[in-house]
Amino acid sequence: MLIDTYGRVATDLRVSLTDRCNLRCTYCMPEEGLQWLAKPDLLTDDEIVRLIDLAVTRLGITEVRFTGGEPLLRPGLVGIVERVAALEPRPQMSLTTNGIGLRRTATALKAAGLDRVNVSLDTLRPDVFKTLTRRDRHKDVIEGLEAARAAGLTPVKVNSVLMPGLNEDEAPDLLAWAVENDYELRFIEQMPLDAQHGWKREGMVTAGDILASLRTRFELTEEGSEERGSAPAERWLVDGGPHRVGVIASVTRPFCSACDRTRLTADGQVRTCLFAQEETDLRAALRSDAPDEEIARIWRLAMWGKKAGAGLDDPSFVQPDRPMSAIGG
């Protein structure tokens, strides 16, 4: 079991498979990209599967989310999914992706055992997409979403970040489109995880702004805390249901007290929180032939020291050195 001093138990493992990405989203990284991790620094497929096996069979993990960077850029992804699906007990598996490669991989991922996907899409307008991502790939994302739905990777969830002056007016249009296409839309407040450290709290589109905008066109009925559980998204029924919309208010309505996540970076570091300043090295233990019992002990100790909250409301908050692309969403 992965328990911390506040009594929270981690059952959800986020695994970053690569720090690389084929988009350059303005809220994540600079246009020229980043200094990518060297291949020897990355965990191998076997190392990733071993750590997930250990987490599932010894540490109580029941859900695994593959992230990046862009996880579809990982050459061995389908094989990793297939091997994790064979574990006993079998964890629930999902993938967070920008959707560009889904058209060609969705069927194979479903056959390998992936349960569902979260796809990032911030706008319905191709020109705005190009401005936000610095790439002209909007059509590829739409086709990737359609392929995921057709393959049965459902519910297909769409993650959207609204940015002032670019797409902040699109919330109602995005929701109408999601309802029409049977996607579950979730808006995410922009978080201080950009490589340029240009985030400013006073300039972001808040959960309150998003809900006010949605209510100009839709009736929203809050689901409540019992339905939410430890999920990061507060959810509302849209016009009485059955469709739902979620808002992840990491900055203005933090949900740290119910957090059930532990994170593994692409180079084998445990992170207790997206905003953590400290990491715990599992790669070194792996490569020094440490037994599973020792690796599990190191992981438990790391999670025991998890802080009460992210501290975004603390004036002394310092943004993590690693951008979101390097630690997974």
Residue with token string 């990793």? 80
Determine what percent of the chain is predicted with pLDDT higher than 70.
87
Binding residues for GTP, by number, are: 14, 65, 96, 157, 261-263
The tens digit of pLDDT for each residue in 197-243 reads 454 556 688 999 999 999 999 999 998 766 655 578 899 999 998 99
Query: Percentage of the chain with pLDDT > 90?
Result: 72
Binding site residue list for S-adenosyl-L-methionine: 27, 69, 120, 191
R_g (Cα) of the chain, nearest Å: 19
Q: 217 near 190, Cβ under 8 Å?
A: no
- Do 190 and 27 touch, CB atoms closer than 8 A? yes
d(CA 302, CA 285): 14
Helix (H) or strand (E) segment spanning residue 148: helix 138-151
Q: Which of 95, 99, 181 is nearest to 140 (CA)?
A: 99
Query: Binding site, residues?
Result: 14, 21, 25, 27-28, 65, 69, 96, 120, 157, 191, 256, 259, 261-263, 273
> pLDDT digits over 141-191, tens only?
999 999 999 999 999 999 999 999 899 999 999 999 999 999 999 999 886
**Residues 265, 173: Cα–Cα separation, whole Å:** 35
8 A C-beta contact, residue 306 and residue 4 = yes
State the binding site for [4Fe-4S] cluster.
Answer: 21, 25, 28, 256, 259, 273
